[in-house]
């Protein structure tokens, strides 16, 4: 049997879908971070599963309000069986038109499922640290976006056929997309809490020598400058993904930095 862990909301919103949101993580000690915290605050409970540890994914999302697949140190191009199974499983939210969000590795899995390529830049450049984000016209029509976002990756993805590009970057152009209205992919990380970022900086320090990577102090200094607008954006973005809401007019904090 799968080892499931459910996080329950502290206050139940009477208008909230009572079904849990499926959370897919890729390491034993991984956390849904700020995404999980915000979803719980919004009234959802979380059904957390780790396929890498042998926990099964549901055959249908009829019992869930949606799903999120998070990142991890592995690549979608790795031969591990659980990676292939997760990529194949994405047929479920796409077929059932259920809300789905892929973050970093999760977005790359969605791209692979849709037939796109995931690969490193030919010059070996990375995005590890804080980098500018440029919303497209379709992205700007959807909502306001933060000017700087946090990354920790060495591979990027093609835009899947039929997807709408919502935001671009400099080193890796495809940063955010939507597919058929219900599936979303983000290359960057908005889910990191302060504790998570400190842990990533410590355990990922060996990658700071890679081309275009920032040093640890830049990660932490950038958080002080750019994290507040990123959190404000994420709060609205989750409402768009899981409730189909239209974003509110931007507050000054959303547009700053």
> Contact 49/39 with Cβ under 8 angstroms?
no
pLDDT level of residue 7 (50, 70, 90 thresholds): low
**Nearest of 60, 69, 49, 66 to residue 2 by alpha carbon:** 49
Where exactly are the structural domains of the chain? 5-255
Helices (H), the chain: 33-41, 81-89, 91-96, 105-113, 137-142, 194-203, 216-243, 252-255
CATH architecture observed for domain 5-255:
3-Layer(aba) Sandwich (3.40)
pTM exceeding the 0.85 threshold for the entire prediction: yes
Over residues 202-244, the pLDDT tens digits come to 999 999 999 999 999 999 999 999 999 999 999 999 999 999 9
Strand partners of residue 15 = none
Q: Residue 231: its pLDDT value, please?
A: 98
**Which range is least confidently modeled, 36-40, 81-85, 253-257?**
253-257
Q: Report d(CA 82, CA 57) in Å as an integer.
A: 10
pLDDT(19) > 60 = yes
Query: Can you list the pairs that 239-248 forms with residues at least 24 positions away whose Cβ atoms lie under 8 Å?
Result: 239/42, 240/142, 240/143, 241/66, 241/99, 241/101, 241/184, 242/21, 242/39, 242/44, 242/65, 242/66, 242/99, 247/142, 247/143, 247/144
Q: What is the pLDDT of residues 142-166, one digit of tens each?
A: 999 999 999 999 999 999 999 999 9
Least confident among 12-26, 40-54, 121-135:
12-26
């Amino acid at each position: 049997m799968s080892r499931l862990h459910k996080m329950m909301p502290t206050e139940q919103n009477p208008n909230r879908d009572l079904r849990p949101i499926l959370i897919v993580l890729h390491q034993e000690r991984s956390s849904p971070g700020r995404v999980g915290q915000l979803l719980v605050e919004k009234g959802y409970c979380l059904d957390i599963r780790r396929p890498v540890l042998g926990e099964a994914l549901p055959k249908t999302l009829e019992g869930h309000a949606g799903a999120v697949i998070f990142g991890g140190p592995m690549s979608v191009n790795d031969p591990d069986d659980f990676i292939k199974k997760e990529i194949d499983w994405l047929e479920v939210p796409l077929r059932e038109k259920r809300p789905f969000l892929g973050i970093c590795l999760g977005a790359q899995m969605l791209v692979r499922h849709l037939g796109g390529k995931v690969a490193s830049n030919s010059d070996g450049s990375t995005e590890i640290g804080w980098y500018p984000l440029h919303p497209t016209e379709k992205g700007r029509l959807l909502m306001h976006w933060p000017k700087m976002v946090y990354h920790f990756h060495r591979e990027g993805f093609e835009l899947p056929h039929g997807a709408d590009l919502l935001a671009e970057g400099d080193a890796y152009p495809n940063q955010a997309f939507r597919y058929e209205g219900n599936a979303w992919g983000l290359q960057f990380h908005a889910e990191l809490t302060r504790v998570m970022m400190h842990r990533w900086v410590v355990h990922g320090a060996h990658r700071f020598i890679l081309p275009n990577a920032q040093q640890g102090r830049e990660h932490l200094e950038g958080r002080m400058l750019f994290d507040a607008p990123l959190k404000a954006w994420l709060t609205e973005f989750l409402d768009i993904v899981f409730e189909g809401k239209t974003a509110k007019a931007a507050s000054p904090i959303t547009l700053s930095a």
